[in-house]
């Protein structure tokens, strides 16, 4: 490391990737500064995973109160207070933000609370103070931001996930545009809190990319819980009226609600960063193009996390940031494997997957064995809740390896995290079968599936 520059590393963005990279690099003795224009912790902590999961917990009490009756509980009248939830969430976020700040401070990372842009291969401009600083290496970890789609009239009336967490009051109704995990999670949260919820999506089925069985079953469960789907349409215009926010759809119909929330995608935060001037190559949606070591087209500039549009998940950003620091400052070159990544949708019922969905497995394997189980979870026997748990294993017929595992139902995310270890290690169906079931549990179904599932057409033939 050299004293030719003010810092050895300047990180732009104190989110999941930036904080990890800065802290680890400082641990190797690098002189590190990190600039943050909003709040330390980034999307995940401040307006993503953490508040989202807290709200999911809040929403699920609605079912718990109902279910408790079947187990002998006398549940009196219950009520929900949105401002109490928002305030509790804010206290927790403040605590986490302080914890992040403390971690950075103890690691010796200088936190600069302002927007930063790239002014040269080794130069950063601090936009509020107007200062310019230099660094041997610059790491861009600016994340992503909600994308609102084509510019249609009235877009200023819509909210995004950023605002949804802090609405001044719980709406009576909400229309959510989008079919990805953020749209579905918020729909699940609001619907269970008693909000009349409609999903507007341009496709014919939500959760594109997930296994078809999970997509179908989640839509079925959502419809049963009262969530309305308006599929195959997009918004053409939004207006605000006395009756609420009105969305005009491409089929000529309108939807009206207290809020219309857009969750149709996220766009990498690269606008105005000064990347064009220094020649950092960018991709189709503005993301920063990097190699497997998170190197950009400019030798001294690197990028990790959502801004690179590789895998927009917190653990990926953290691992990319860590690997970057190990490689550039720790003398331990390493890259992050972006395969066999477990992922969950915190809808209710929850959905989680690792490995290949059936449609991709069919493209890649000559012979495929599918195992499916759909059953009533034990809790539902006494609660009387009309719900089913679903599990699916996809096995490569040649190697007998389990290459896909998909779960819908309670604790799907927790189950899939563990299954991911087995799949990553190359577990075969026989390994699953030879594993002793843990009884009584739902997850035991994964090691007791014996009958191959036969597609109805094959069965008929």
Ligand X SMILES: Cc1cc2nc3c(=O)[nH]c(=O)nc-3n(C[C@H](O)[C@H](O)[C@H](O)COP(=O)(O)OP(=O)(O)OC[C@H]3O[C@@H](n4cnc5c(N)ncnc54)[C@H](O)[C@@H]3O)c2cc1C
Q: Applying CB under 6 A, does 18 fall inside the site for ligand X?
A: yes
* Residue 229, number of CB atoms within 10 A of its CB: 17
Applying CB under 6 A, does 17 fall inside the site for ligand X? yes
| Structure-block tokens of residue 240 | 């605000």
Q: How far is CA 174 from CA 199, 228, 336, in A?
A: 9, 11, 39
CB of 247 to ligand X, least distance (A): 21
Binding string, 104-133, against ligand X, x = CB under 6 A?
A: -----------xxx----------------
Residues 295, 329: Cα–Cα separation, whole Å: 14
Whether the CB-CB separation of 415 and 352 falls below 8 Å is answered with yes
Q: Can residue 14 be called a binding residue for ligand X (CB under 6 A)?
A: yes
Please say if 439 is a catalytic residue: yes
* DSSP codes, 60-73: HHHHHHHHHGGGT-
Between 322 and 401, CB nearer to ligand X: 322
The span from the CA of 135 to the CA of 109, in Å, is 14
In this complex, which beta carbon is closest to ligand X, that of residue 42 or of residue 247? 42
Binding track over 130-159 against ligand X, x by CB under 6 A: -----------xxx----------------
Q: For the sheet containing 173-177, what is the strand order? A: 228-231, 196-201, 173-177, 259-262
Q: Look-up: residue for tokens 């653990």?
A: 315
Nearer to ligand X, 273 or 365 (CB): 273
- Give whichever of 54 and 68 is closer to ligand X, judged by the CB atom: 54
Q: Which stretch binds ligand X (CB under 6 A): 32-40, 325-333, 373-381, 393-401?
A: 32-40
Contact map string, positions 314 to 333, toward ligand X, x by CB under 6 A: xx-x----------------
Tell me whether residue 165 or residue 329 sits nearer to ligand X (CB atom). Answer: 165
Interstrand relation of 368-375 and 351-355 (parallel, antiparallel or unpaired): unpaired
- Assess contact for 193 and 86: CB atoms under 8 A: no
Closer CB to ligand X, 125 or 228, in the complex: 125
Mask: binding to ligand X, 377-416, rule CB under 6 A, as x and -?
----------------------------------------
Hey, what long-range contacts does 274-279 have (CB within 8 A, 24 or more apart)? 274/117, 274/118, 274/119, 274/125, 275/118, 275/140, 277/118, 277/119, 278/118, 278/119, 278/120, 278/121
Q: Which member of 7, 11, 16, 356 binds ligand X (CB under 6 A)?
A: 16
Q: Catalytic positions, please? A: 439
Q: Which residues bind ligand X (CB under 6 A)?
A: 12-18, 35-38, 42-44, 48-49, 52, 115-117, 141-143, 161, 182, 269, 273, 305-307, 312-315, 317
């Amino acid at each position: 490391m050299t004293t030719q520059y003010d810092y050895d590393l300047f990180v732009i963005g104190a989110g999941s990737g930036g904080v990890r990279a800065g802290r680890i690099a400082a641990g190797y003795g690098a002189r590190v500064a990190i600039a943050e224009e909003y709040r330390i912790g980034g999307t995940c902590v401040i307006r993503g995973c953490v508040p989202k999961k807290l709200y999911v917990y809040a929403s699920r009490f609605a079912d718990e109160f109902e279910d408790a009756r079947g187990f002998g509980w006398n549940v009196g009248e219950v009520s929900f207070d949105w401002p109490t939830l928002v305030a509790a969430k804010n206290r927790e976020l403040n605590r986490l933000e302080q914890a992040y700040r403390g971690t950075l401070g103890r690691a010796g990372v200088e936190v600069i609370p302002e927007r930063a842009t790239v002014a040269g291969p080794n130069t950063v401009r601090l936009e509020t103070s107007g200062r310019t600083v230099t660094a041997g290496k610059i790491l861009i970890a600016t994340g992503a931001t909600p994308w609102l789609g084509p510019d249609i009239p009235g877009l200023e009336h819509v909210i995004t996930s950023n605002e949804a967490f802090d609405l001044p009051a719980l709406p009576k109704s909400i229309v959510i545009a989008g079919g990805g995990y953020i749209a579905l999670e918020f729909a699940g949260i609001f619907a269970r809190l008693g909000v009349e919820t409609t999903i507007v999506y341009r496709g014919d089925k939500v959760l594109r990319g997930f296994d078809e069985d999970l997509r179908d079953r989640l839509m079925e469960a959502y419809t049963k819980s009262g969530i309305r789907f308006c599929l195959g349409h997009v918004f053409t215009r939004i207006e605000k009226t006395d009756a609420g926010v009105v969305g005009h759809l491409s089929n000529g119909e309108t939807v009206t609600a207290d809020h219309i929330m857009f969750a149709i995608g996220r766009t990498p935060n690269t606008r105005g960063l000064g990347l064009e001037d220094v020649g950092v190559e960018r991709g189709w949606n503005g993301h920063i193009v990097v190699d497997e070591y998170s190197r950009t087209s400019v030798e001294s500039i690197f990028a990790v996390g959502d801004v690179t549009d590789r895998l927009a998940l917190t653990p990926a950003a953290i691992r990319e940031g860590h690997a970057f620091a190990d490689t550039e400052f720790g003398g331990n070159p390493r890259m992050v494997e972006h395969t066999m990544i477990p992922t969950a949708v915190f809808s209710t019922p929850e959905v989680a997957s690792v490995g290949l969905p059936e449609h991709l497995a069919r493209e890649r394997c000559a012979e495929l064995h599918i195992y499916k189980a759909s059953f009533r979870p034990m809790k539902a026997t006494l609660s009387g809740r009309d719900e089913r748990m679903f599990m699916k294993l996809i096995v490569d017929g040649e190697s007998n390896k389990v290459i896909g595992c998909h779960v819908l139902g309670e604790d799907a995310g927790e189950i899939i995290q563990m299954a991911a270890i087995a799949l990553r290690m190359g577990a075969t169906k026989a390994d699953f079968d030879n594993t002793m079931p843990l009884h009584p549990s739902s997850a035991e179904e994964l090691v007791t599936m014996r009958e191959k599932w036969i597609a109805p057409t094959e069965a008929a033939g």
